[in-house]
A and B are shown apart, each in its own frame.
Chain A
Amino acid sequence: MVLKQFAALYKARTMEFVRDRGTFFWNLLFPVFIVLGMAFAFSGGDETLFKVGVVGTPDGSPRLLGMEQVQAIPYADAESALQRLERHQIDFVLDFNRATYAINGESSKGRFVRDLFSAQQAAGAGATAPARLFEEVVVSGRATRYVDWLVPGVIGMNMMFSSLFGVGYVIVRYRKNGVLKRFKATPVGALNFVSAQAASRLVIVLLTSVFVFSGTNMFLRFMMRGSYLNLLLLTTVGILCMISLGLVFASRMRSEEMAGGVLNVVTFPMLALSGVFFSLEGSPTILRTISRVFPLTHFIEGARAIMIDGAGLVQILPNLLVLGGLTAAFLALSAALFKWE
């Protein structure tokens, strides 16, 4: 009986979404436009500066590091410097501890710095004194473009809006116009009704996210070092968390205007502080601390870790746990607060 009710409610809500053409296409196309637009806007951003990672203490003062066009970035250990090199975040690594230099075979900038460095070493004058022989190490790895970094952010953002408004706003509208009251007058339980709404939205947002990802991936070929299954799992948990947050707001409110306002108050800080478009590295600690409570932060962080760093389940477990914990808390809160009218 409960299942029959659930299935019928699920079907009705899903049809409502699919037939509402405006909302349907907006949900699908808006994120695609953002990803493509941002990819286009930031495609020509190659800087003229050469970034050289430095490991260990330079003996003497190598001419390369003194050059105006070169930015020297010190690293504590060779591994982290090489990892950056693999991702094209730096162009060249000079390791004074091991007397090696490293380039990324797929980076022409790196080869240019290598040639410059070798010439300077050969010339001797002003090079490291005494002129040491450096051995070459070649790493490989595709460049991480801004768009690789951006796509989890945009999908996360879309997920947030679609879940919060698609559940929160819609239930408030149902309450205001009396649809909820009519359901209350039937044997349908509140939990069953709400679960059906949430399930319908979960599938919709999941499919939208997959569509947006694969659609833009056709043109942009995102970096994907981790597993698609893990990404799907993280996305599902992320959507559940956002939907539960939407349910908290949907549990009592009667006015759509109020709901719209409150949802904006919730979504804007997340948009600003969850690192959707720009990294929060280097921003004040207080902001970074605040951002840790936002579900969006944990989704985006986890997704970037999977795609760019090739993180497995173990590495993203903290993000999954936070999302799961928040989901449970939001669900409990909305169940306690829910009123039909």
Chain B
Amino acid sequence: MSDILRIEGLSKRYGQVLAVDDVSFSIPEGVCFGLLGPNGAGKTTTIEIMEGITAPSAGKVLFRGLPIGKDFKAKVGIQFQSTALPEFITVKETLELFSSFYEAPRPMGEVIDLCSLSDILDRDNQKLSGGQRQRMLLALAIIPRPEIVFLDEPTTGLDPQARRNFWELIDLVKAEGTTVILTTHYMDEAQLLCDRVAIMDRGRILEIDTPDSLLEKHFDGVLIRLPYDGCCTDALAGFEGIAIGEDAIELQTETLDRSLKDLLAARVDLTGLSIHKPNLEDLFIKLTGSSLRT
């Protein structure tokens, strides 16, 4: 698999703030690539540099090995985090407007079917619900039959049902072989959709790999979690792989029944205990020492 997009030594400075700090990675063609991180991590700046919308302070972006040129815009589809749509025109008219921008746009019927827009075609852009709006914005992004679709926090602010519907749409886009690059601060979203993820915090990439390899690399076994009220941790002193956070104690273990027996023997109060398989959320907490500032 060849790399469709490669970024090298990317930095972006806004005044005193270094929003993106010397970031390099590459994205193989046809994958769904997730840029994960809390708000303010530099995800949007990074993705907008990759889109060619924002100029980097340093570094470069290569599309199929070459610096991005004039025709790049015709080959990618972009959904920004917040976009107003032209007012007083309908969904159908907006689709027609955007179709006119491209040499060989996807047939309108195909776009409408793919993004399930048939029920809202005559609706004014201003009267769309959150989920309808995101579907509409995705439709605009796929009109040019893009080689890459960029989605910046596509499901932020959507209700759970609308998020699940949107994930199905992204699966359809992926199924066409389109490379999808998305940012999110929802770890479940990344785990479900992405083939590769980069975990970003404070302008830097902390880890980059497939979700499974990352979890395998950082976690063995399962996590036992206990509520923590700020006292009586003496009994836990002897346990290995223990992490004490602000309101929870986490114990990572490969031998679950052995650890539980040990905890009972140490007379630890097991009220509120939970056991779960580590996910990207846990990994993020482990890597950054903080929970997601969502």
Contacts and interface: CB of A to CB of B under 8 A. Distances in A.
Contact of A188 (B83, B93, B101, B103): B101
Given A16-B89, A185-B78, A186-B73, A4 B84 contact: no
Contact of A181 (B53, B73, B140): B53
B282 interface: no
A188 to B, nearest CB: 5
Given A15-B93, A186-B102, A178 B53 contact: no
Contacts of A229: none
A180 to B, nearest CB: 10
A178 B85 CA distance: 8
A72 B289 CA distance: 95
B108 interface: no
B125 to A, nearest CB: 10
A47 interface: no
A8 B97 CA distance: 5
A177 to B, nearest CB: 4
Interface in B7-55: 51, 53
Contacts of A9: 97, 100
Contacts of A12: 86, 89, 93-94, 97
A19 B140 CA distance: 23
Interface string A164-189: 00000000001001110110111110
Given A7-B100, A12-B97, A179 B86 contact: yes
Contacts of B97: 8-9, 11-12
Tell me if B's interface is mostly helix, strand, loop or mixed.
loop
A5 interface: yes
B80 A185 contact: yes
How big is chain A's contact interface, by range? 20 to 34
A185 B53 contact: yes
Interface residues of B, number: 26
Contact of B100 (A8, A15, A182): A8
A179 B84 contact: yes
Contacts of B239: none
Contacts of B102: 186-187
A187 B84 contact: no
Contacts of A11: 97
Nearest to B84: A177
Given A16-B89, A181-B53, A187-B102, A8 B96 contact: yes
B82 interface: yes
A46 interface: no
A185 B51 contact: yes
Given A8-B96, A16-B86, A186 B101 contact: yes
A79 interface: no
Contacts of A5: 100-101
Interface string B99-121: 01111000000000000000000
Contacts of A177: 84
Nearest to B101: A186
B169 interface: no
Interface string B217-253: 0000000000000000000000000000000000000
Nearest to A341: B53
Contacts of B51: 185
A181 B140 CA distance: 13
Contacts of A184: 53
A266 B93 CA distance: 35
A179 B85 contact: yes
Contacts of B88: 15-16, 19-20
Contacts of B80: 178, 181-182, 185
Contacts of A4: 100
A188 B103 CA distance: 11
B5 to A, nearest CB: 16
B4 interface: no
Given A7-B100, A184-B53, A187-B101, A178 B83 contact: yes
A76 interface: no
Given A7-B100, A8-B100, A186-B101, A15 B85 contact: no
B159 interface: no
A178 B86 CA distance: 10
A1 interface: yes
Contacts of B87: 16, 20
A12 B125 CA distance: 12
Contacts of A186: 73, 98, 101-102
Among B80, B97, B98, find the residue whose CB has the most chain A CB atoms closer than 10 A. Answer: B97
B101 to A, nearest CB: 4
Given A16-B88, A174-B84, A179-B85, 10 more contacts: A1-B103, A4-B100, A8-B96, A9-B100, A12-B94, A15-B93, A16-B86, A184-B53, A185-B76, A186-B102
20 contacts: A5-B101, A9-B97, A12-B86, A15-B88, A15-B93, A19-B88, A20-B88, A174-B84, A177-B84, A178-B84, A179-B84, A182-B80, A182-B83, A182-B140, A184-B53, A185-B73, A186-B98, A186-B101, A187-B102, A341-B53
Interface of B: 51, 53, 71, 73-74, 76, 78, 80, 82-89, 93-94, 96-98, 100-103, 140
**Leading 10 A-B pairs by shortest Cβ distance:** A8-B100, A177-B84, A19-B88, A185-B78, A186-B101, A16-B88, A178-B83, A187-B74, A182-B83, A187-B73
